[in-house]
Amino acid sequence: MEIQKLAHAAKEASHDLAASSTELKNRALKEIASDLNSRRKEVIDANRRDLEESAQNNLAAPLMKRLKFDDSKIDDVIAGIESLISLPDPVGTTLSATELDRGLELYRVSCPIGVIGVIFESRPDALVQISTLCLKSGNAVMLKGGSEAHNTNRVLAEIISGASEHAGIPSGWIQLLETRADVQEMLKLDTFIDLIIPRGSNEFVRYIMDNSNISVLGHADGICHVYVDRDADTPMAVSITVDSKCQYVAVCNAAETLLVHEDVAGQFLPAAAAELKKNNVEIRGCEKTAAIIDVIPATEEDWKTEYLDYIISVKIVTSLDDAVRHINTYGSGHTETIVTANNDAAERFISLVDAGDVFWNCSTRFSDGYRYGLGAEVGISTNKIHARGPVGLEGLLIYKWIIKGSGQIVADYAAGTRKFTHRKLDTKFTV
Amino acid sequence: MEIQKLAHAAKEASHDLAASSTELKNRALKEIASDLNSRRKEVIDANRRDLEESAQNNLAAPLMKRLKFDDSKIDDVIAGIESLISLPDPVGTTLSATELDRGLELYRVSCPIGVIGVIFESRPDALVQISTLCLKSGNAVMLKGGSEAHNTNRVLAEIISGASEHAGIPSGWIQLLETRADVQEMLKLDTFIDLIIPRGSNEFVRYIMDNSNISVLGHADGICHVYVDRDADTPMAVSITVDSKCQYVAVCNAAETLLVHEDVAGQFLPAAAAELKKNNVEIRGCEKTAAIIDVIPATEEDWKTEYLDYIISVKIVTSLDDAVRHINTYGSGHTETIVTANNDAAERFISLVDAGDVFWNCSTRFSDGYRYGLGAEVGISTNKIHARGPVGLEGLLIYKWIIKGSGQIVADYAAGTRKFTHRKLDTKFTV
């Protein structure tokens, strides 16, 4: 019930926020940056309490590192806000304009989605990034961060709501949830919340997807493949395989399975195996692979597994189409790459593979909002609708159809006394 | 299990269909049109059996009319296919292009969604329209039509699959479901089906939305409002009110509630009531309305009701913001219109009202794909993501991110030995 009230308040605020001017939103972002700077001691003190509690609870070292929010992290999020201020306002863009008849003009204009629910990992910087992205795009937001960071998150949310509301943004646009039970409640509130963005483990994201009627933007698995075609350059294929697997193993766009055309397996696999072993990668291979290099036997389960670790599965395929079939069966629609010098093979791979990101002669690790130049990133989506692959600000937008008329009624067009012109306009919407 | 096999076949076909050339798809559409023409006797005979069965089952006259599929209807769907052939292929459009670095280019290119499940009403023409729209946009489709039309639908689906597969479209791209149990099965198949488009009654659409993990595109309610502002021209407001309510009462974009600014209620309401009564509209009003004109008292339930009939509810509001609040509370996000001569009022209404279609000085009845000039219409969506309002072909598309590289790996950029250029390109993607 409590959460329903918060969601209702967010929904109410979202309407005024959607109508807020660029100037007001940017002024609010400036005040947030300024207050984060002047109140950094409070933030760091709260974070110290979180770090102490987590140390007592024996939180793993990598998570402790992500939880830490010090002066340099505060400088980073402030720099992020400055760059967000300099971006154009994504709201109010005229996407199309059509004259339906004299004095009857149709416009499609970008607008915020409404209320976004975001569930994110233990990094407190995520709270600042997500909430300021929502503010810039005119969306209200309900946030649930990692429980280890609850003291830090509480101070950050308080600073952001205080500063933005002081600047004139409607109160209630940012809401902080604190428990798992809060999240459970949130998942039911489809009348108030328009989109859920869950960031975290496969199991967690899948749970959210299976337990809410609200649309979900994100990805559960990241089972990405490197396909080494018959016409691949061997050194390039080895380099791309090693980077895709090893450059950062714990992320969704790291490769988990290597597919190799049978005609080049004899040449490519020993070279690749040597480099992978230098990086301490365990290789699990199909029977044909085992006939060429020394591997642990792969099982059906391996093709379905996102290792997120120094492990790779290898399968020899008989053709490009065989590789595509494997990818479309076992892949998660995230990132797939082909290494080939053959344009026709590349074209066929690109058009047949069903994934958000399909690459030719580069590492799978490039699928990322920063590398794509999208500026801020909301997340990576394996959805088939709305937004796919790395999602920037535009993933937080939808559009309205607006008609400016002068008293027209449909009866006149039905009777044939008036006719539609359907003429493309290149004007922007203004009243 | 049977339905799962059909869905699996559709998914398999969808990958090849996505890669099919414009020429092949248009050739298939031509063959479909040609076979519909040459096999029209079979279609009409099957339809006669449906009409006879339905007459025995005492199907209501308006439904009998929708079910009837005669020579003139066949001519219409053939004309629809001809115009679809002449539309540009929506697949393969480069939506953005960025140079990430020398020889590393990122493209965002439109592509089909995959497999679309469509559940539609008793009109057999819908089967032809929907399946050919899916074919043109490169999507496989699973169709379930009204059971009254089962003989007609079977022949139509057989003609469409036969003609298209003869032209070279992969077999299995179109699947016909025949029972409600089939639909229940389909709703569970989120690994094969990417989007469900349900057309039909509120209860039915809401049932689909509540019982599937698959994304749903459509609308349940259509609770649309006409708001007569303080600065409205009375004759224009009366005309728009009557058209919005009466031009076709049984459709989702007909107005159900009239909101009137208190300052003009005394002048506007008697004039509007006189015209509405000429059209036999029952008026249910709030207490303030009842003080001005003769009405049946409205209850809270009236604000939430889509009458789809000659009934309108009337509420007097104290301000534009009061009207907006009512709309954002009770509206279904479909179509809302303001009648006003005041630009500031129009601007505020348009930016604050949360709906797919927001109009100024025209009838709510304009929200329709044909009237918008979208060509073919998939449906009308009250979703907050992907597509909103009348949805044309573009609602059946998503995009892929494609990178053309020359061996690049992320490690070089992480080490700083290479830098991203992020330069906008105006080139189209080609291999």
The answer to whether residues B165 and B17 belong to one domain is yes
**pLDDT tens track for B324-345:** 999 999 999 999 999 999 999 9
**pLDDT tens track for B159-204:** 999 999 999 999 999 999 999 899 999 999 999 999 999 988 888 8
To the nearest whole Å, the CA of A335 is away from the closest chain B CA by: 9
Asked if residues A262 and A288 have their Cβ atoms less than 8 Å apart, the reply is yes
Helix H or strand E encompassing B185: helix B180-186
Strands (E), A173-318: 174-177, 195-198, 224-228, 255-261, 282-285, 296-297, 311-317
Asked if residues A229 and A340 have their Cβ atoms less than 8 Å apart, the reply is yes
**Mean pLDDT computed over B26-47:** 98
Q: Do B407 and A346 touch (CB under 8 A)?
A: no
Residue A352 with chain B: CB contacts under 8 Å: 15-16, 18-19
The answer to whether residues A265 and A203 belong to one domain is no
In angstroms, rounded to a whole number, what is the distance separating the alpha carbons of residues B391 and B26? 22
The per-residue pLDDT for B372 is 96
Residue B400 within any structural domain of the chain = no
The answer to whether residues B267 and B293 belong to one domain is yes
**Mean pLDDT computed over B255-259:** 98
Helix H or strand E encompassing A299: none
**pLDDT tens track for A361-412:** 999 999 999 999 987 788 899 999 999 999 989 899 999 999 999 999 999 9
The per-residue pLDDT for B204 is 86
Residue with tokens 């869950």: A198
Residue A313 within any structural domain of the chain = yes
The answer to whether residues A153 and A14 belong to one domain is yes
The answer to whether residues A54 and A170 belong to one domain is yes
Asked if residues A323 and A227 have their Cβ atoms less than 8 Å apart, the reply is yes
Average pLDDT, chain B: 95
**pLDDT tens track for B75-90:** 999 999 999 999 999 9
The answer to whether residues B250 and B348 belong to one domain is yes
The per-residue pLDDT for A63 is 87
Residue A307 within any structural domain of the chain = yes
Residue with tokens 């709510």: B364
Asked if residues B151 and B127 have their Cβ atoms less than 8 Å apart, the reply is no
Does the pLDDT of residue A193 top 80, yes or no?
yes
Asked if residues B243 and B229 have their Cβ atoms less than 8 Å apart, the reply is no
Domain count, chain B: 2
| The token pair that represents A378 in the structure block | 């909301």
Facing residue for B405 by CB, picked from A98, A361, A373: A361
Asked if residues B213 and A212 have their Cβ atoms less than 8 Å apart, the reply is no
- pLDDT band for B378, please (50, 70, 90 cuts): confident
The answer to whether residues B158 and B120 belong to one domain is yes
The answer to whether residues B118 and B14 belong to one domain is yes
Residue A29 within any structural domain of the chain = yes
Facing residue for B240 by CB, picked from A359, A383, A409: A409
Q: Is B93 on the interface with A (CB under 8 A)?
A: no
The answer to whether residues B58 and B174 belong to one domain is yes
Does the pLDDT of residue B209 top 90, yes or no?
no
The answer to whether residues B204 and B259 belong to one domain is no
- pLDDT band for A221, please (50, 70, 90 cuts): confident
| B201 CB-near residues (< 8 Å, 6+ apart) | none
Does the pLDDT of residue A167 top 80, yes or no?
yes
Residue-range definition of the domain harbouring residue A241: 224-369
Does the pLDDT of residue B323 top 90, yes or no?
yes
**Mean pLDDT computed over B80-104:** 96
Q: Are strands A104-112 and A397-408 parallel, antiparallel or unpaired?
A: antiparallel
Instruction: Compute the C-alpha angle A216/A220/A224, nearest 5°.
Output: 130
Asked if residues B218 and B380 have their Cβ atoms less than 8 Å apart, the reply is yes
The per-residue pLDDT for B353 is 98
| The token pair that represents A272 in the structure block | 């690749």
How far CA B177 is from CA of A376, B186, B192, B416, in Å, comes to 44, 9, 15, 56
CATH number of residue B180's parent domain: 3.40.605.10
Does the pLDDT of residue B231 top 80, yes or no?
yes
Residue B213 within any structural domain of the chain = yes
Written as one letter, the residue type at B132 is T
The answer to whether residues B170 and B36 belong to one domain is yes
The per-residue pLDDT for A1 is 63
Report CA torsion sign: A247, A253, A256, A259.
Answer: negative
Does the pLDDT of residue B395 top 90, yes or no?
yes
Query: Which 16-35 residues of chain B touch chain A by CB within 8 A?
Result: 16, 18-19
Residue A101 within any structural domain of the chain = yes
To the nearest whole Å, the CA of A148 is away from the closest chain B CA by: 29
Considering only CA atoms, which of A121, A397, A137 is closest in space to residue A252? A121
How far CA A321 is from CA of A227, A349, A357, A362, B430, in Å, comes to 11, 8, 18, 20, 20
Residue A331 with chain B: CB contacts under 8 Å: none
Does the pLDDT of residue B131 top 80, yes or no?
yes
Instruction: Report pTM.
Output: 0.94
Q: Which residues pair with A216 in a beta bridge?
A: A196
To the nearest whole Å, the CA of B329 is away from the closest chain A CA by: 9
Asked if residues B212 and B187 have their Cβ atoms less than 8 Å apart, the reply is yes
The answer to whether residues A47 and A194 belong to one domain is yes
Residue A10 within any structural domain of the chain = yes
CATH number of residue B316's parent domain: 3.40.309.10
Facing residue for B373 by CB, picked from A100, A389, A398: A100
Residue A422 within any structural domain of the chain = no
Task: Give Rg (Cα) of chain A.
Answer: 25
